[in-house]
Structure 1
Amino acid sequence: MIGPLAQFWLIPYMNTDAGRNAWGWLLGDGEARGIALVFVLASLVMLVLVLLALMSPPYRRLSRSYASAAPPLPAEVPA
């Protein structure tokens, strides 16, 4: 899904003056600006998903259970 989106929309956009002016400060002037924009956008989406997961009730329950659990016993070292 991301391949056609990058090939037909993002990469051509990054080759225009508008794309260069909007994103040049972050992505530079190289030929890979379009795919770099794909990575930046994908990273932002994943960051939002991780933050949502960290705020979810199951994750908070799991964190509380680990925090209240007794520490494991040390393993015996063979002589």
Structure 2
Amino acid sequence: MVARSPEVAFKFAMWFWKTEVGPSLRLGFGATTMRINGIECGGMSWNAEAMQNRINQYLEICKWFGVNPGKDLYC
């Protein structure tokens, strides 16, 4: 149903953001990553590259906008 309806997909995304992601934003990028895609977390060798790629992209975007990336980048 979510995949077939843009309206349902948007509502689901908003619900997920408000209930799962939003509360962790104040805890740093690592906590946010854990909420969105926890499979990248946990220190397993097969997911370390994915986590590092996500952090590198985040740092690059922060640099573009001239904002401090904060601390706690790793989950």
TM normalised by structure 1 equals 0.29
Larger radius of gyration: 1
